[in-house]
Amino acid sequence: MSMKATIRQVDSVTVVDISGRITLGEGCSQLRELIRNEVSKGNKKMLLNMADVTYIDSSGIGELVSAFTAVSNQGGQLKLLRLTKKVHDLLQITKLYTVFEVLDDEAKAISSFESAASA
Amino acid sequence: MTAKPGFVEATLESDLKNVVVAEEISRRVATTAGFDESDQHRIEMAVHESMINAIWHGNKNDASKTVWLRFQIYPDRLEIRIRDQGNGFDPSLIPDPLAEENLLKVSGRGIFLIRTFMDEFRTEYIAGAGTEVTLVKRLSSNSQPQQGGTGREHESHHSSG
């Protein structure tokens, strides 16, 4: 039920596979800590795989915004991968769909970081 | 938790773990009332956000305080009342989370989501008792009560604790 996150490195991109609930309390704290750690290690290309996120609340949305800002402030990029319909709808309702870059294909998402870096 | 035909009441301790309990109750009541899966999820999210507000902001996470909930099924709607033991708040003072300057704010979207997902949202400060929010979701014409209930008479929910 609670949030789980595993981190893997694909080329220069840090992919975070998130599952479960991103809600006020444990889920948000875990995500905040994880992003903080990765940013402090100098990882500036972050891809959050949201395919297995079952529930996200207003605090969880706030945590995504916080992560986006933290990575952007370090000159990096944070993108979202494979949103569920519920998360997709929430980002549209809150107008954040225009803020985040959202992709459905992991390989294309990874290469989008590379092409941005070489541009 | 007590139960009578047509409504469910519960009094829960101010513990974030009880948000899930409230969600579960809302899901069962919404199903019984005949809401489709999409509306069940909207109602569940509105209850989730209201519980967070009651526990976190109203009761300041004080475990000695409680949150009271009442789910009332009417022929045409579901009415949910959630009361904390806090000092009240004025929802008109919450900045618009869709305003350009607020889009990247970390907080301030809870009430907005409740308003979006429900047909009515009211708040009332009851002196000596706390803040009560009322959430209303109307049944659309194609919604059907679950088998075992009708528009006027719905099955009861029983306490799990």
Q: Indicate the pLDDT class of residue B41, thresholds 50, 70 and 90.
A: very high
CB B17: neighbour CB atoms within 10 A?
Answer: 10
Residue ranges of the alpha helices (H) in chain A? 26-40, 58-73, 85-93, 106-118
Range scoring the smallest mean pLDDT among A71-80, A90-99, B41-50, B142-151? B142-151
Q: B99 in contact with A at a CB cutoff of 8 Å?
A: no
Give the C-alpha separation, A43 to A13, whole Å: 8
pLDDT above 50 (res B135): yes
Tokens linked to B74: 């009417």
CA of A63 vs chain B CAs: smallest distance (Å): 7
Of the given ranges (A86-90, B22-26, B82-86, B140-144), which has the lowest mean pLDDT? Answer: B140-144
ipTM above 0.95, yes or no: no
Task: Name the residue facing B103 among A24, A63, A95 (closest C-beta).
Answer: A95
CATH number for the domain that contains residue B62: 3.30.565.10
Amino acid, res. A43: N
| Res B140: pLDDT | 84
Examine residue B33 and state whether it is found in any structural domain, yes or no: yes
B97 to chain A: nearest residue by CA? A94
The pLDDT of A75-85, averaged and rounded, is 97
Please give the structure tokens belonging to residue B27. Answer: 């899901």
Q: Is residue B146 part of a domain?
A: no
Q: What's chain B's Rg over C-alpha atoms?
A: 16
Percent of chain A with pLDDT over 90: 90
pLDDT at B111: 96
A93 to chain B, any CB pair closer than 8 A? The answer is: yes
Interface of A with B in 42-81 (CB under 8 A): 57-59, 61-63, 65-66, 68-69
| B84-104 tens-digit pLDDT | 999 888 888 999 999 999 999
- What's the CATH superfamily of A4-105? STAS domain (3.30.750.24)
In this predicted structure, the answer to whether residue B2 has a pLDDT above a threshold of 70 is: no
Whether B152 is covered by a domain: the verdict is no
Q: Is B124 part of a structural domain of the chain?
A: yes
Residue B146 — pLDDT band, cuts 50, 70, 90? low
Contacting residues of B for A1, CB less than 8 Å apart: 20
Q: Which residue has the tokens 């294309």?
A: A108
Q: Provide the residue ranges of all domains of chain A, joining segments of one domain with +.
A: 4-105
> Three-class SS string for chain B?
CEEECCEEEEEEECCCHHHHHHHHHHHHHHHHHCCCHHHHHHHHHHHHHHHHHHHHHHCCCCCCCEEEEEEEECCCEEEEEEECCCCCCCHHHCCCCCCHHHCCCCCCCHHHHHHHHCCEEEEEEECCCEEEEEEEEECCCCCCCCCCCCCCCCCCCCCCC
Q: Give how many domains chain B has, as a whole number.
A: 1
Structure tokens at B64: 């000695």
- Compute how many other C-beta atoms are within 10 angstroms of the C-beta atom of residue B45: 24
pLDDT confidence bin for B161, thresholds 50/70/90? very low
A28, closest residue in chain B (CA to CA)? B106
| B97: contact with A, CB 8 A cutoff | yes
Mean pLDDT, chain A, rounded, equals: 93
Residue B54 sits at the vertex; the CA angle it makes with B52 and B59, to the nearest 5 degrees, is 115
pLDDT score, position B91:
85
Query: Could you tell me which chain A residue has the CA closest to the CA of B100?
Result: A95
Contact between chains at B104 and A69 (C-beta distance less than 8 A): yes
Distances (CA, A) of B5 to B21, B67, B150: 20, 22, 11
Chain B CB within 8 Å of residue A19 CB: no
What's the CA dihedral at B42, B44, B49, B51 to 10 degrees?
Answer: 160
Residue B76 falls inside a structural domain: yes
Q: What is the pLDDT of residue A115?
A: 64
Per the structure, the complete domain to which residue B104 belongs is given by 7-138
Q: Which two tokens stand for residue B63?
A: 């475990």
The residue of chain A nearest to residue B38, with distances taken between CA atoms, is: A86
Give B144 to chain A, closest Cα distance, Å. 23
Are B106 and A63 an interchain contact pair (Cβ–Cβ within 8 Å)? Answer: yes
Give pLDDT tens digits for A3-57: 999 999 999 999 999 999 999 988 899 999 999 999 999 999 999 999 999 999 9
